[in-house]
Amino acid sequence: MLVDYLKRGVLAGAIAGIAYGAYVALVANPLVGYMETRAEGGDHAHAGEHAHEAGEHAHAAGEGAHAVSEATTAAVSIGSGVLWGILLGGAFALAFYFLEPALPGRGRVKAYVLAAAGFLTVSVAPWLVLPPTTPGAELAFDPTLRSAIYAGMMAVGAVVAAASVYGYGRLSPENRPLGVGVAAVPIVVLVVVTTVAAPTIVETGALSADLVTAFRGLTVLSQAALWALVAACFGWLQTRAGAQPAAERHDDLLTSP
């Protein structure tokens, strides 16, 4: 049974990973390249015209190599996206197998709840303190400390997600709006506390605030879409395979001779 879940999770992750890799190749990489150019533009804005003319010949000669480089980068991006999707899908399937009884909702709703909890844990909570890094950004603290902060915020995010799911599960059978409100409380507290108390760890450098906001927004949306696509594909594969809910599996184990 667990192996079947893993197979469906890996397949769901591969499908989602292809879409995510295409996004990285077609949207994220060009945006990062543009931001790198903008970040370095201040140092080269007053370059001489003769140097520009000489550079045109080198640019023309290197266009073919540049096209090959872009194709290679796109292939690597798609391949990396697939690998990340497979890893995420496998972890998602394992978590779903063991946590399904505790997840609210029925059928595919459980998969979306788990995806939301995973996104909150892995991305949202850490990014409240360590937002996605932009080209040319100046980072406070050393990499070891930043990694420790990221891991610590993931643990905080897991606690917040568990508290939200638990609160909703306890109160929604009697009063669903109250359950939704209680589920939102831990998330709101997390956002407020980190907004007020978190130190400024990332300085955006020379890039405009609008460009940085757009980059971070796209990063958040792309990761949310990846989690949602994994959940959607996994839920569809579960339904297609006729997988039993956890409660039914438990009853079958109890009644089997």
CA dist 136 → 32, 74, 110, 244 (Å): 10, 22, 40, 50
Any idea where the domains of the chain sit in the sequence? Answer: 1-41+69-240
**Beta partners for 139?**
202
9-65 pLDDT, tens digit each:
999 999 999 999 999 999 999 998 888 888 776 444 444 444 444 444 444 444 555
**pLDDT of the residue at 206:** 74
Q: How far apart are CA 17 and CA 9, in angstroms?
A: 12
**Region 173-179 average pLDDT:** 90
Q: How far apart are CA 104 and CA 100, in angstroms?
A: 8
Model confidence at 254: pLDDT above 50: no
Closest residue by Cα to residue 229 from 46, 42, 89, 131: 89
pLDDT band, very low/low/confident/very high, at 219 (cuts 50, 70, 90): very high
**pLDDT of the residue at 256:** 41
60-83 pLDDT, tens digit each:
444 555 556 777 888 888 899 999
The percent of the chain in helix, strand and coil, each rounded to the nearest 5, is 80, 0, 15
